[in-house]
Structure 1
Amino acid sequence: MTGEARAWLTVSALASTSPEGQTTQRQMEMNWEVVDVMEGDWIGIFDKDPSGDWSNPVDQRTPRESFGYFITNATLPHLPVSTEQMEGACLGWWVAYVRDDTPIAIDCFKVHPRWMSALKEQIGAVSLRNLVWPGVHDAGTYTPYSQLADNSLMKYAITQDESIYNQLVYGNRYIDLRAGYFSGDPDEPYWVVHGLTVWRPFREVLQQLLEFVQSTGEVVIAEVSGFTFFETSEHHTGCIELITEVVEEVMAARDLTWDATLADLLQTPASLIVIYDHHEADSHPLFWPEISSKWANAQSISQLEEYMYNVFEVDGPPAAPWKLNGQLTPLAEDVITDDLGSLRIMADEVNRNVTQWLQTRWWDQISIISCDFVLSANYVEVAMEVNLRRIAK
């Protein structure tokens, strides 16, 4: 933390429906970090910029510790965010940490459609392998919350509630995609899957990637894996052909390697790095090889923290680039017994904590970081901050 205080907003991963049918979802969270909490300090959320007038917060709370959060009654609707918005544009909610009747920290909830381009002058010379990439776990398994999707299967399958295009507009630059092959649909055999749940045509998510990269020129990593029901090499060949059919014009050549700089890719229209986690793509000039991955397979935050401690401080992380899966994972018996509640509850338990650990403890070692329900983490702004902090180190 720089200065005496920080405040920022996230969107709670929690969602529920009351017995009366009332839905609660996408509540704004006020987060803060201060050196010391002083008598009279308060934090508030505002529906207009409080820089000139902070007397009318929509919700106001009193912090008791130097680091924490409050879930407010303010909510963020599913907004039609777009690459047409300015980098860092505010989306209607602000937060202020107030001391002695003066805000000492103000921030807003933002989009980041062009943060790489905005930071090109500062971090453009950094190699791709040495950047921090904020990312999305199971990015294609998205759907807005509803009571119908809150059943015993879906609440352990849905990982996001924003489209891939929106995930990118909010600033994420690593997209985890799981592909499945279904022979019963000869016109559309490739679909996004999560385990055995099937979501949307793979072509659809590729088109979202294409639209974003064409509009912004930002550098994006898309990793394709899973390959549910891929039984022959022809199934992989078909998937590879589909990917190139849709996004070939923006695919970065494999021979650039991870030693290319951010500026190298920002100055070319081909800035989409596609990783294909199967040897069938090994000889293709547009598909990058699989990278190392660290996955805790943890069911509690204490297990996840212990795993991350071992990765960063005992064994040491793999050679960059590598990805850290920062989410909890339910076992089959957890889904059956429903002991963990849902992926939303699990994300709420870990996202803010992992964000803090990456920002304060392991900022100089992280590479690609991903999670469920990304708006409840602050990965994008942490990545921006850490990328700048590293070059100043």
Structure 2
Amino acid sequence: MFMKPFISLIVGVCLLAGHSARCYQENHRRPDCGNVHLTVSPTRDTNLELNWISDCEDDSAPEFIVFSRKHLRDTDENSIILKLKAADYPRGYYKTSTSYGHPWLPGNWEYSETTNRKDMGPYCLPYWITSVRGERIIDENCLAIQPTWMYDNRQTLGSQKIGSIFIPGTHNSGSYDGIPAFLEGYVLNQDRDVWTQLVHGIRYLDFRVGFYHREGFFINHDQVKVINVETVLDQIKKFVELAPSEVVVVDFHRFPYPSNFTAEMHRKFTDLVYRYLGDHALSPSGLQVGKGPTLNEIWAQNKSVIICYSDRNTVRETFWLWQPLQQFWGDTNSVSSLKGFLTRSIKQHRTTINPMWALMAELTPQPLDFILRINNLRNLAQKVNREVTKWFREEWFYDANVVATDYFLSNDLIAVAIDANSRK
């Protein structure tokens, strides 16, 4: 059993905020041997996953990986859930039998219509991972929410332009609930509502919208109706009211139903969006130039929502809408093909009239997958999300703008983005 006296020998610089801790190695782009983080499996069991850097020299590799409910310095025997011998898992990965479920969000960030104040800073959930060699902690990390990470890092982020910062996002952000079980595997791209995505640190939301004459506007996954759009708009509105310095990019990227989505439908929809978000919508006037405005310039206007819209005619007629945001989507179910596509997209992309651009870093089921009932969205996220974390952590650290994924808790891109932005 570990003893508390060795906890003082911590390598690196520990950045403490709220109830959260993260130990970084200074002046390195790539993470060091033994760096750790937790993820949540995208499969229905939502089991917690242990991840650590295992590409190490023998004399520096961690001996043990400890999974606990408290920070190791505060841990007793009852708080340690699991202790692994790192050498037994050379891939640096272990899926635990501890289910994450849908826990209460700390720091008063549980959703409530009546709450008018939330606490600033990151907050740990009761899950910690620590890598240890001898009596030395190499790295430690908790599974945390990051509801105010932009404001928390304002001294380094303020001078950076919106088209240059690393913005973690979700793909089909509103496709998280409300679907019959037999369709779920090929329709739902997330398992957390939009509020929870934002509280964890997501700052780009990708939506498709359908209109149904008797029911109104819905978030769609292509032709499939998922959830009433007002539910999503209300969650965004509540979040930006409580965290007004967090810049949220809302991308209404497609309008797949009906196929003839008319100008009148667009007018009705934008009226609805403005009713919820108009007070917070940043007008693009004079800002869609080059890499766009800095965060300081955005904050000076006291507007924190950038609304991108795929219908150019509607944009021309609406002063608060931004031009369509370019997405790079690989449309593949192959990890290697996706990496090749993203590599080319990073090298070849050009700034358009909208200063932001998005890499859609997820795998997509192909027609044969539907027929054979294989490669559903959960399984594809399980296959690719650990790799996506590695690509952006180790290769594309400074190259990304928006990066959107499926089942975002099964990667570590929010932490990678925060770290990358703080080092630029």
Match of 2:228 in 1: 201
Write the distance in 2 (CA, Å) between the matches of 1:245 and 1:4. 50
Write the distance in 2 (CA, Å) between the matches of 1:2 and 1:309. 21
Write the distance in 1 (CA, Å) between the matches of 2:226 and 2:270. 19
Instruction: Please say if 1:262 is aligned against 2:291.
Output: no
Match of 1:325 in 2: 360
Deviation (angstroms), 1:66: 6.5
**Residue of structure 2 aligned with 1:79, choices 90, 103, 114:** 103
Write the distance in 1 (CA, Å) between the matches of 2:296 and 2:90. 38
Q: Deviations over 1:350-380 (max 9, x none)?
A: 0110111011111221110001101001111
Match of 1:106, SS state, is strand
Write the distance in 1 (CA, Å) between the matches of 2:90 and 2:282. 44
Identity of aligned residues (%): 25
Match of 2:263 in 1: 233
Deviation (angstroms), 1:284: 1.3
Write the distance in 2 (CA, Å) between the matches of 1:68 and 1:3. 13
RMSD: 2.0
Write the distance in 2 (CA, Å) between the matches of 1:382 and 1:214. 26
Match of 1:32 in 2: 52
Write the distance in 1 (CA, Å) between the matches of 2:374 and 2:104. 35
Match of 2:37 in 1: 8
Write the distance in 1 (CA, Å) between the matches of 2:223 and 2:58. 48
Match of 1:338 in 2: 373
Write the distance in 2 (CA, Å) between the matches of 1:208 and 1:154. 22
Q: Is the CA contact 1:37–1:63 (under 8 Å) kept in the aligned structure 2? A: no
Match of 1:20 in 2: none
Write the distance in 2 (CA, Å) between the matches of 1:235 and 1:116. 35
Match of 2:242 in 1: 215
Deviation (angstroms), 1:5: 2.9
Instruction: Please say if 1:316 is aligned against 2:348.
Output: yes
Q: Is the CA contact 1:36–1:66 (under 8 Å) kept in the aligned structure 2? A: no
Instruction: Please say if 1:173 is aligned against 2:195.
Output: no
Alignment-mate amino acid for residue 329 of structure 1: T
Instruction: Please say if 1:271 is aligned against 2:304.
Output: yes
Write the distance in 1 (CA, Å) between the matches of 2:168 and 2:97. 27
Match of 1:223, SS state, is strand
Write the distance in 1 (CA, Å) between the matches of 2:331 and 2:316. 28
Q: Is the CA contact 1:214–1:269 (under 8 Å) kept in the aligned structure 2? A: no
Q: Is the CA contact 2:253–2:324 (under 8 Å) kept in the aligned structure 1? A: no
Match of 1:58, SS state, is strand
| 1:373-392 alignment, distance < 5 Å | 373-390=407-424
Alignment-mate amino acid for residue 263 of structure 1: N
Q: Structure 2 vs 1, CA of residues 119 and 76 (structure 1 numbering), >3 Å: closer, same or farther? A: same
Q: Deviations over 1:138-193 (max 9, x none)?
A: 0001139xxx9542x221101111110110000000000111011133xxx11111
Write the distance in 2 (CA, Å) between the matches of 1:331 and 1:325. 16
Write the distance in 2 (CA, Å) between the matches of 1:112 and 1:100. 32
| 1:109-188 alignment, distance < 5 Å | 109-143=143-177, 149-151=180-182, 153-185=183-215
Alignment-mate amino acid for residue 317 of structure 1: H
TM-score, normalising length from structure 2? 0.83
**Residue of structure 1 aligned with 2:381, choices 347, 357, 360:** 347
- Give structure 1 stretches of 5+ with no counterpart: 16-24
Q: Deviations over 1:80-128 (max 9, x none)?
A: 3217244221011000001113321111000000000000011210011
Alignment-mate amino acid for residue 295 of structure 2: L
Q: Is the CA contact 1:9–1:30 (under 8 Å) kept in the aligned structure 2? A: yes
How many residues are treated as equivalent by the alignment? 371
Q: Is the CA contact 1:137–1:159 (under 8 Å) kept in the aligned structure 2? A: yes
Write the distance in 1 (CA, Å) between the matches of 2:385 and 2:331. 15
Q: Is the CA contact 2:62–2:138 (under 8 Å) kept in the aligned structure 1? A: no
Write the distance in 1 (CA, Å) between the matches of 2:298 and 2:277. 16
Q: Structure 2 vs 1, CA of residues 356 and 2 (structure 1 numbering), >3 Å: closer, same or farther? A: closer
Q: Structure 2 vs 1, CA of residues 267 and 74 (structure 1 numbering), >3 Å: closer, same or farther? A: farther
Instruction: Single out whichever of 251-260 and 153-162 deviates more from structure 2.
Output: 251-260
Match of 1:105 in 2: 139
Match of 2:16 in 1: none
Instruction: Single out whichever of 286-295 and 79-88 deviates more from structure 2.
Output: 79-88
Q: Is the CA contact 2:62–2:131 (under 8 Å) kept in the aligned structure 1? A: no
Alignment-mate amino acid for residue 209 of structure 1: I
Match of 1:311, SS state, is helix
Alignment-mate amino acid for residue 328 of structure 1: L
| 1:279-294 alignment, distance < 5 Å | 279=312, 280-294=314-328
Match of 2:69 in 1: 47
Q: Is the CA contact 2:177–2:227 (under 8 Å) kept in the aligned structure 1? A: no
Q: Is the CA contact 1:327–1:350 (under 8 Å) kept in the aligned structure 2? A: yes
Q: Is the CA contact 1:32–1:66 (under 8 Å) kept in the aligned structure 2? A: no
Write the distance in 2 (CA, Å) between the matches of 1:183 and 1:163. 25
Write the distance in 1 (CA, Å) between the matches of 2:213 and 2:253. 18
Alignment-mate amino acid for residue 195 of structure 2: Y
Deviation (angstroms), 1:76: 1.5
Write the distance in 2 (CA, Å) between the matches of 1:133 and 1:330. 25
Deviation (angstroms), 1:264: 2.1
Deviation (angstroms), 1:54: 7.1
Deviation (angstroms), 1:389: 2.2
Write the distance in 2 (CA, Å) between the matches of 1:267 and 1:334. 49
